[in-house]
A and B are shown apart, each in its own frame.
Chain A
Amino acid sequence: MAEILTPEEIIKQGEPVFVKTKLMTDNTLSYCPGCGHGVAHRITMEVLEEMGIGDQTIGVAPVGCSVLAYEFMNIDMQQAAHGRAPAVATGIKRLFPEKYVFTYQGDGDLAAIGTAETIHACNRGENIVIIFVNNGIYGMTGGQMAPTTLEGMVSSTSPHGRDVEMMGSPIKMTEMVATLPGVCFATRQAVHKPGLVRKAKKAIRKAFENQKDKKGTSIVEIVSNCNSGWKMTPVDSNIWLEENMLPVFPLGDIKG
């Protein structure tokens, strides 16, 4: 029987099995406690690090909570006007086809104001990766209704709950763009549980491998929480996400 080591001895003698990727900066994330953005950022950067392409990648940050993504991702980045990230990424990729290009967008950015840019970049099969974080709300501006807000869900601009008669139903953008021939991979993931994080990371890896193989547009939707906007604790928001978001936005590959 081996001797029992103290935690201090394990830290000293053991293998570090989880260390923050160097492709994340040391800046403190501006996100609320428990927000899924941090994990989505991290696994995206881990994929770039594991593929060894951090120095060949240009990221595009949106307007929304992740507007400051370039403060946290330690790669060259551009910040796009609200909704225009897929157009900005198109401009980069068309003139720098040998670089890896991705957008990181929220639901308001991608599915409301940027719908045209999203659909047409996908339809042209731009050889880019779109990371789409869907938390059903406008987080940055203080919890207003998003195109993905659930039926009956309360937000600051749907204080009596989203009325689909008046406001329509939550848009399923990933399913919509999956119908386009230019899209080679469309999947919906989540990052609120360890196993789901690992799956989401695999999906992001596949998306960047697709770009490497010049297959077209890959979109990875990540259903995430917005505990501040939903007015819940982080743990409760993840339970609410499972019970309410996932039935409407079911996880899994939609195409490819």
Chain B
Amino acid sequence: MEEVRLMKGNEAIAEAAIRAGVDGYFGYPITPQSEIIEYLMLEQPHLRTGMQVLQAESEVAAINMVYGAAGCGKKAMTSSSSPGISLKLEGISYIAASELPCLIVNVQRGGPGLGTIQPSQADYFQAVKGGGHGDYRLLVLAPASVQEMADFVDLSFELAFKYRTPVMILSDGVIGQMMEKVVLPPQKERLSNEELIKKYGSWATTGKPASRERNIITSLELKSERQEAHNHKLQAKYKEISENEVRFEKLNCDDAEYLIVAYGSSARISQKAMQIGREKGIKVGVLRPITLWPFPSDEINKLADQVKGILTVEMSAGQMVEDVRLAVNGKIKVEYFGRYGGMIPSPNEVIEALEQKLIGG
């Protein structure tokens, strides 16, 4: 039977983690995502599934605990908000380089610096362009509802283990804090150690039996030729992900003359703006990227043949707009509208911006 609950986005992530059969969560409190670790501590998942939860001494320690656990083939995750993610980036680079599967949740707040505890989407560049050092990518999922906060946890781990790569859920303070109805996923069994060794024993550090060579989790390669070869391998993997894992949602795009591209909470606001626009007689559609990397560039490029102009709506000073422009490659006008620093755009502001920048301009 379906299990429906009214939950905060952060709580939904926490509950979904238990149900996804996660082995370990390592976190550190930071607003606006602390409910994730608070929920887990209250829920005592070790009694339900054996899942371990630990409050680390810092975000840095937490991501490195994830590294250690993921290096053993365990399902491990961490969560934080923008300044905390900055601290985790060193570890994320190591995790990507060492090809470890794991989940990192970023419930974004406004920056830069200590910024504000209010919602923001200003970590787009950080999430999709790397953030940490070196040529690596995160597979980035952007939920726009509490339901997706729950659903994307299991999806993230499926993708993380499929490609042996870190996956990020890039959320924001709106989705993290708001309460919605959520249909909870069924409980997945955690892998036993025997099952884990059978599935991941070829690479994970599980203790070296006489029957195989030792497994090493490392990102160090002092010989440049080999380091380049390792980079080639990573890039081939990223190409495969780009070709197979693009996810997006289209709303009213069939007859659209104008397109709004927006993700997460901005997509919800843009959806309302679209309704207002349609009532005004503006044929506007919304494309909501669900994966921010890989980005739905091909779809946006196709739509650029159909619509007259594109507006990106972001709670940042204009970050995703760069990727939309790259996708459109100069075919049509691409403009940006956003509020930031903890401010949230209103649907009316969005449609006014569209009228001014694309129709009137």
Contacts and interface: CB of A to CB of B under 8 A. Distances in A.
Touch between A and B in complex, CB under 8 Å?
A: yes
B219 A79 contact: yes
Contacts of A178: none
A186 interface: no
Nearest to A119: B57
A92 B205 contact: yes
Interface residues of B, number: 39
Contacts of A68: 220
Nearest to A74: B214
A154 interface: no
Interface in A55-100: 55-58, 60-61, 67-68, 70, 73-81, 84, 87-92, 94-96, 98-99
A91 B210 contact: no
Nearest to B61: A87
A95 B69 contact: yes
Given A55-B209, A78-B67, A84-B61, A95 B52 contact: yes
A102 to B, nearest CB: 12
A56 B76 CA distance: 21
B58 interface: yes
Contacts of B71: 78, 88, 91-92
B191 to A, nearest CB: 11
Interface size range on A against B = 35 or more
Contacts of B67: 78, 80-81, 84, 87-88, 91
A75 B64 contact: no
A87 B208 contact: no
Contacts of B26: 91
B91 interface: yes
A179 B54 CA distance: 23
B21 to A, nearest CB: 13
Interface in B180-228: 193, 205-210, 214-220
A61 B218 CA distance: 9
A114 B110 CA distance: 29
Nearest to B50: A95
B199 to A, nearest CB: 15
A68 B223 CA distance: 13
Contacts of A139: none
A87 B56 contact: yes
Contacts of A99: 206-207
B65 A79 contact: no
A79 B54 contact: no
B345 interface: no
A187 B90 CA distance: 32
B64 A95 contact: no
Interface in A26-81: 54-58, 60-61, 67-68, 70, 73-81
Contact of A78 (B58, B60, B61, B217): B217
A54 to B, nearest CB: 7
B68 A87 contact: yes
B72 interface: yes
A116 interface: yes
Interface in B144-182: none
B220 A88 contact: no
Contacts of A84: 60-61, 64, 67, 91
Given A55-B208, A55-B209, A91-B65, A79 B24 contact: no
A57 B209 CA distance: 10
A56 B205 CA distance: 10
Contact of B65 (A56, A61, A77, A87): A87
B23 interface: yes
B68 A77 contact: no
A96 B74 contact: yes
B138 interface: no
B136 interface: no
B61 A117 contact: yes
Contact of B68 (A67, A91, A120): A91
A80 B70 CA distance: 12
B90 A81 contact: yes
Interface string A106-125: 00000000001101100000
9 contacts: A55-B208, A55-B210, A76-B216, A80-B64, A90-B54, A91-B26, A98-B193, A117-B61, A119-B57
Given A57-B207, A87-B56, 19 more contacts: A55-B210, A56-B207, A60-B68, A70-B216, A74-B208, A78-B67, A78-B216, A79-B216, A88-B64, A89-B68, A90-B54, A90-B68, A91-B72, A94-B52, A99-B206, A99-B207, A117-B57, A117-B64, A120-B57
Q: Which 10 pairs between the two chains have the least Cβ-Cβ distance?
A: A91-B68, A91-B65, A88-B68, A87-B64, A76-B205, A120-B57, A79-B218, A91-B69, A84-B64, A87-B61
